[in-house]
Amino acid sequence: MNKRIGLISATKKESRAILKTLRRIKGKSLALPVYQGKIGKTNIIHIISGIGKANAAHAATLLIEKFSPFAVINFGIGGAYPSANLRTGDIAIADKEIYGDEGLWLKDGFHKTEAMGIPLLKKGRKKYFNEFTLDKSLVKKAMKVIPRDLPLVKGGRGACRIKSDAFVTVSTVTGTDKKARELEKRFNAICENMEGAAVAHVCAMYGIPMLEIRGISNIVEDRDRSKWDIKRAAENCQRTVLAFLREGRG
């Protein structure tokens, strides 16, 4: 593949395996850490965005404006909602991204931005409110090439589970079982993160295909960091991204 693929992760911790093959670009106009190189035959530009929607949107805009990638992959760790049937160390792939905070609070509760009547993005005749559908061909390709022998968190049994469904992007990380079940029911989603919808939003603006891959670091429930495995989740996610870049081209 001669076309360039853009990668966005929030932190270096989520990117270490990939950064081993890339080199840092030095440039006064680059406000964020940017790396380039090849993975297999694929030309790569990788940006470390920082956490949260604003940082992610900035990174996606910088990536697209300066480097014109053919497609963008947002990757990192995420929390699985209780009913998703995912475990720590499993892999989730977004088929759509949903802003979980944007909307209205009324007497009867939360309403999506459709209730305001103002889209977050309008492109041609298409209006985007809370939801951004990701590229179906990239999702299909990723599901085919993901290695099935990814190691689970210590004590995990069976093969790594891989699931594709809706993700929710929030500004405030969910730390209670009650709120997790509320969000998964409201949005019919499997995974929570802090950046994906913002990247999907910018990619939709520019008409750039996007893929999002997350390694599950924890189940979203009453917060207990002793149950988390960020290292394993980040490693499994990167192995998935590398498999896609090396085998999923064409």
Specify if 154 maps to a domain. Answer: yes
How many domains, in total, are found in the chain?
A: 1
What pLDDT is recorded for position 160?
Answer: 83
Task: Examine residue 26 and state whether it is found in any structural domain, yes or no.
Answer: no
- Residue 250 pLDDT level (bands cut at 50, 70, 90): very low
Cα 181 versus chain centre, distance: 20
Q: Which of 6, 84, 2, 74 is nearest to 45 (CA)?
A: 6
pLDDT digits (tens, 9 = 90+) for 93-104: 999 999 999 999
For residue 38, is it within any domain? no
Domain range for 241 is 75-247
Q: Do the bridges between strand 71-80 and strand 191-193 make them parallel or antiparallel, or are there none, so unpaired?
A: antiparallel
Instruction: For residue 19, tell me if it sits in a domain.
Output: no
CATH number at residue 136: 3.40.50.1580
Q: How far is CA 110 from CA 221, 228, 234, in A?
A: 20, 29, 32
Summarize pLDDT for 155-197 with one digit per residue, the tens: 556 678 899 999 999 999 999 999 999 999 999 999 999 999 9
